[in-house]
Amino acid sequence: MITTEAELAEVVRSANGPLRIQGGGTRAALGAATEGAPLSTVGLSEISIYEPEALTLVTKAGTPLAEVEQALSDAGQMLFFEPPDYRKLLGSKGTPTIGSVAACNLSGPRRVAQGAARDAMLGVRFVDGRGDVISNGGRVMKNVTGYDLVKLMAGSYGTLGVLTEVSFKTLPKPEDTATLVLHRLNDEAGVRALIGAMGSPNDVTGAAYDAQKQEAYIRIEGFKVSIKYRSAALKTLFSKSEQSFLSAKASSTLWKQIRDVAPLAKQKGDVWRISTKPTDAPDLVATLHRSMNIQALYDWSGGLIWLLTPEGADIREKLKSFDGHATLIRGKRDGRPVFHPQSAIVEKMSQGLREKFDPKGLFNPGIMG
């Protein structure tokens, strides 16, 4: 087991074939590389620096996510981007690591209000395809000068380098939370309500809609006195809709289920993740619904759609050109790329970055194709 950054760098320098980068092994189906020798970061496990008063955390990439979240919780803080746990959705095991969260830019419901994982990342250390250690806070190689290393590594799925350490901005945990539930709404009305809530002055931190239950969920967080005031304001805003409120405990359970896509996890079929404009979401789902049996869970006020479809269905073909992108999260590839095909210009830029950071093509070959 590799336990130091220097050991990892030596392995990369001496590699003469493809490497399959692994964290805790929990996301094997999510854009997994299918070839190469496994290279695990789980031995790089330690919270290096945690300064609650400075809202700053520095941790090795292989540190279990649960360990990071527990340390933050003990100090009354959190990772504000609400990292999801897809083990039930993907039918996988293992232990989620903070490095995989960063590499995949995994972000939950609160992203709609406070930002994604990449927005919380303050710095990174990683080993590039030459076996050099790169850091945005220390030595920066000449060939990467001018690049925003954090933004490049977040969401790169290990194709540009192997993360060894990540620093995050943290935030205090809210004192209280409540969720307004709007009942008996169709997709169009549900998403319209989410958009209206996000556009209101009520500091909404979660906006989701379950098409099967025909329920819209609107979350607010903060001090108890503020929750009381904003709950009344939201109740008035949606006075024409049948509504109810969830307690803090019930809210926590609900948003964990939405975060982890639990409503679709145990059902048979492929699972797709669609990013699009919230205003386009209901029509997009309706288009697919006319040709196949699907279930939909909307998050990010409709900007993120989780779809359960029949096995083997290619929704990209049915949608043709649409303003967004669709990622195959669960299901056999059977010639279907996991990630949405890139335009020629974006593909050329991506290839240029891969050649710059991984000139020998070692890391996760085929993961983006």
Dump pLDDT digits (tens) for 321-356: 788 999 999 998 888 888 988 888 988 988 999 999
Span 190-196, average pLDDT: 98
H or E, element range at 356: helix 344-357
Cβ 295 vs Cβ 267: under 8 Å: yes
pTM given for the model? 0.93
Can you give the pLDDT at residue 187? 98
Q: How far apart are the C-alpha atoms of 9 and 41, rounded to whole Å?
A: 12
Can you give the pLDDT at residue 210? 98
Span 86-110, average pLDDT: 94
Q: DSSP state, 130?
A: T
Nearest to 340 by CA among 353, 326, 329, 350: 326
Can you give the pLDDT at residue 28? 53
Structure tokens at 71: 């340390």
Amino acid at 162: V
Can you give the pLDDT at residue 93? 85
Q: Is the pLDDT of residue 34 over 70?
A: no
Can you give the pLDDT at residue 140? 37
Q: How far apart are the C-alpha atoms of 150 and 122, rounded to whole Å?
A: 7
Q: What is the pLDDT of residues 279-300, one digit of tens each?
A: 999 999 999 999 999 999 999 9
Can you give the pLDDT at residue 142? 36
Query: Is residue 366 very low, low, confident or very high in pLDDT (cuts 50, 70, 90)?
Result: confident
Q: What is the pLDDT of residues 197-252, one digit of tens each?
A: 999 999 999 999 999 999 999 999 999 999 999 999 999 999 999 999 999 999 99
Can you give the pLDDT at residue 143? 40
Can you give the pLDDT at residue 139? 35
Cα distances (angstroms) measured from residue 186 to each of 13, 141, 210: 56, 53, 10
Sign for the CA dihedral angle at 102, 123, 350, 340 comes to positive
Mean pLDDT, rounded, of the chain: 92
Span 72-83, average pLDDT: 98
Can you give the pLDDT at residue 138? 36
